[in-house]
Every structure is written in structure tokens, then in C-alpha cells.
Amino acid sequence: MSGPRRLVVALDGPGSSGKSSVGAAAAQRLGYRFCDTGLLYRAVTWLALERGIDVADRGALVGLVDQIELAPDAAGRLSRVIVGGRDLTDQVRTAAIDERVSEVARLPEVRAALLPRQRALAAGGGIIMAGRDIGTVVLPDADLKIFLDASVEERARRRAAERGLGPDEPAARRILDELRRRDRLDSNRPVAPLRAAPDAVHIMTDELDFEETVAAVVAAVRRAAGADR
Ligand code: DC
């Protein structure tokens, strides 16, 4: 008898909803690969800034896409980003990139150039791919679509706590303002805006801790794969 089917799982949701950490943990439990597509947009942004390329110069930005590689970390997750043999994973997650990445992610030419890369990674199944438009644009035929959500206040509280900040500190309030700004930009851009696919399973995490959220994702995948039957 063959084991459960190995699915293609699209995991979308707003910034700081826990997609990367939850998706990676769920993938590990399922023996799936994990891919965080936000890294690709972050890497294009980082390279543009480093090379002094105007983030409005679409042709030049598209030219950067082929130089970016995702590589597995020690646990086999595609969560490292490499350019010319150089590991940029830490550099692309800074506040400076947070601030500029939406300008790059809104450009249709950049999104189109990244599409085949993302689809190729998903080929063969057994993958959780996280992003904003995975269920709606990148993998509209995914076996399972999950939309991981939390209120903006809760997402800001978690991000501030990660950085050791109390909720009333000015830096914590800046995190909340920045998340609101990025939500607005991600949701209102004309191309591939942040939206739940109509057939996505919604998981609202305000009342769930990390372990409960991972368990909810794993359960949804097992259900969809027919492993519970
Ligand atoms: O998930 P993140 O914060 O690392 O994403 C960084 C940026 O890239 C954010 O502005 C949204 C954008 N993004 C996107 O538009 N589509 C994706 N599939 C993934 C990320």
C-alpha cells in the first residue's frame, strides 16, 4: 500500500502572521520541503539597493532575478538565499529591506520573472510554499490552500516580543505602524494583491499559540492528503 499523497500546499497570509516559522515546522513534521517566497522579493530588493539600481527600473530588477538562488538550511528548508555564492539570508531580513520591499513586490515584471522559479520548486509535491499570492496566482491548482491570519495588533505584539520590546515602547508602536503600512501596500497593489483564495482553509491564530497553529496546519494537510481515512 502506498503512503499518503504528498501534496502541494499554498500557505498565504499577511506579514508576520507566522507563515515562515509555522510553515517550516509543519513541513518538518510532515517530511515536506518548505519554501519562503518572500525571500526572493527581499533578495531582489537587497541587490537593487546594494548595486545602486533604482527600484523603479523594472528592466534592471528583472535582470537580478536569475542571480538569486534559494538553498536548503540544515533542516532541508529552502530558507537561505544565495547570490553569487554569498549567503544573504540575514541581510535580507533587516528593517531597511522591510521598508523597501513592497515597492519591488508591486512590479508586475518582477512578479512575472519569479513565477517560473516558484512553480519549478513546487513540482513533484511534498512542499509547503509560503507567500502572499501562492494560492491565487503562483499555484492556483495547489492541492491545499491555507490562509494564515492574525489581527495586525497581535502580529505586531508577537514581532515586538521577539525583539524583546514591551507593547508600549515607541519601537513597538513603530512596528505596528509599519505592519499596517505593509498590509495596505500588499493588499491594494493591482497585481497579485494579498487575498485569500476562495477555496483556502482559514486559520485565525489570535487565540492559538505556536504549537497549536502548527498542529492546525499539519492536521489540514493530513486531512487533505486523506491520511485520516
Ligand atoms: O513574507 P515577507 O515579509 O518576507 O515578504 C516580503 C515582501 O514580499 C512583502 O512586501 C510581500 C512580498 N511578497 C509577495 O508579494 N509575494 C509573495 N509570494 C511573497 C512575498
CATH code at position 47: 3.40.50.300
Residue nearest atom 20 of ligand 1, based on CA coordinates: 38
Q: Is residue 77 a part of any domain in this protein? A: yes
Average pLDDT over residues 197-225: 96
DSSP string, 122-172: HTTS-EEEEESSIIIII-TT-SEEEEEE--HHHHHHHHHHHTT--TTSHHH
User: Are the CB atoms for 47 and 68 separated by under 8 Å?
Assistant: yes
Helix (H) / strand (E) containing 200: none
What pLDDT shows up at residue 59?
95
Q: Which of 25-29, 36-40, 111-115, 164-168 has the lowest mean pLDDT?
A: 164-168
Has residue 1 got a pLDDT over 70?
A: no
Residue nearest atom 3 of ligand 1, based on CA coordinates: 15
Residue nearest atom 18 of ligand 1, based on CA coordinates: 131
Which residue of 101, 109, 111, 191 sits with most ligand 1 atoms within 8 Å of its CB, as the best mutation to test the pocket?
101
Mean pLDDT of the chain: 91
- With residues binned 3-state (H G I as helix, E B as strand, rest as coil), the percentages for the chain, rounded to 5, are 50, 15, 35
Has residue 227 got a pLDDT over 60?
A: no
Q: Is residue 3 a part of any domain in this protein? A: no
pLDDT confidence band for 2 (50 / 70 / 90): low
Q: Distance of alpha carbon 159 from its chain centroid, rounded?
A: 15
* Domains held by the chain: number: 1
Expressed in angstroms and rounded, the spacing between residue 52 Cα and the centre of ligand 1 is 21
List pLDDT tens digits, range 67-80.
999 998 887 788 89
Q: Is residue 123 a part of any domain in this protein? A: yes
199 three-state secondary structure = coil
List pLDDT tens digits, range 29-62.
999 999 999 999 999 999 999 999 998 899 999 9
Q: Name all residues whose Cβ lies below 6 A of ligand 1.
A: 15, 37-38, 41-42, 101-102, 105, 131-134, 182, 186
Q: Which domain holds residue 123?
A: 8-224
Q: Is residue 1 a part of any domain in this protein? A: no
Q: Is residue 80 a part of any domain in this protein? A: yes
